[in-house]
Amino acid sequence: MHIEDRGYQFGDGVYEVIAVVGGHLVDEAPHLARLHRSLAELRIPPPMGDAALKLVFRETIRRNGVDNGIVYLQVTRGAAPRDHAFPKAAKPVLVVTSRRSRVPNPRFGREGIAVITIPDIRWQRCDIKSVALVPNVLGKQQAREAGAYEAWQVDRDGNITEGTSTNAWIVTGDDAVMTRAADNAILNGVTRGAVLDIIRREGYRFVERPFSLEEARAAREAFLTSTTAELLPVVRIDGAPVGDGKPGPLSLKLREGYLAHTMSE
């Protein structure tokens, strides 16, 4: 990596993390679609076409002997003498890596995890999957130090936006699954999209709108989603139990549905 790579100096780049399950890439198409959206929003040209990129993914997986794990992709605006404004002659720099990794501890799926809540101190374009993740890093560290899996971020209106690397969901008292609409305040998770498809297919009640910390505290169930966390029931928020403090039945059904989806392609 060049010392003057703009990703290194400015966080001027985007990334994707795609799960590899049984040797195949889970939801590759929506990940590529989101990559193109992030690149377009930052006016970074795609480093190569999708067909070539898919070949690079497969070769990277093969050379690293990855059956179950992740592919990490990063595109920065390139290397150029340091100046905040876009350089005239920089070529985007692509990095693709792949590594074996275990799915989250199965105990987390069975018993659920704890979250804390923190103020959302991020910028107003959280819809871009930017490599500039310092607020997310600080939030996750705060969660770890509190013995929690994740930190749910709360905006100025008292609504939960999302976790530091996951999307946030609740199930309301009248059994409606609720998550924030994919606005500029959250990353439109590919896992979120896959879970929404399951919800529609199974005909569960669903409401897409911001929900408050109070609503989350009063929720019957809660859960979070991401490529690496899959779908994990949330059983404690700031130390207080969600519902009866056990993973909710709807969360567990959706988790099963999502795990089947990752294995089905």
Q: Which amino acid is at 191?
A: T
State which residue, 79 or 223, has the beta carbon closest to ligand PLP. Answer: 223
Strand order in the sheet with 69-76: 24-25, 13-21, 69-76, 93-100
Q: Contact residues for ligand PLP (CB under 6 A)?
A: 17, 136, 162, 165-167, 187, 189-192, 225-227
Question: Could you write out the three-class secondary structure of 205-264?
Answer: CEEECCEEHHHHHCCCEEEEEECCCEEEEEEEECCEECCCCCCCHHHHHHHHHHHHHHHH
Query: Could you confirm whether 129 is annotated as catalytic?
Result: yes
Minimal distance, residue 30 CB to ligand PLP, in Å: 8
Active-site option among 54, 88, 91, 129: 129
State which residue, 171 or 224, has the beta carbon closest to ligand PLP. Answer: 224
Q: How far is 209 from 194, CA to CA, in rounded Å?
A: 18
Angle between helices 50-63 and 28-41 (to 10 degrees): 120
Minimal distance, residue 208 CB to ligand PLP, in Å: 15
Residue pair 227/18 in contact by the 8 Å Cβ criterion: yes
State which residue, 27 or 243, has the beta carbon closest to ligand PLP. Answer: 27
State which residue, 60 or 167, has the beta carbon closest to ligand PLP. Answer: 167
Minimal distance, residue 247 CB to ligand PLP, in Å: 19
Task: State the catalytic residues.
Answer: 129
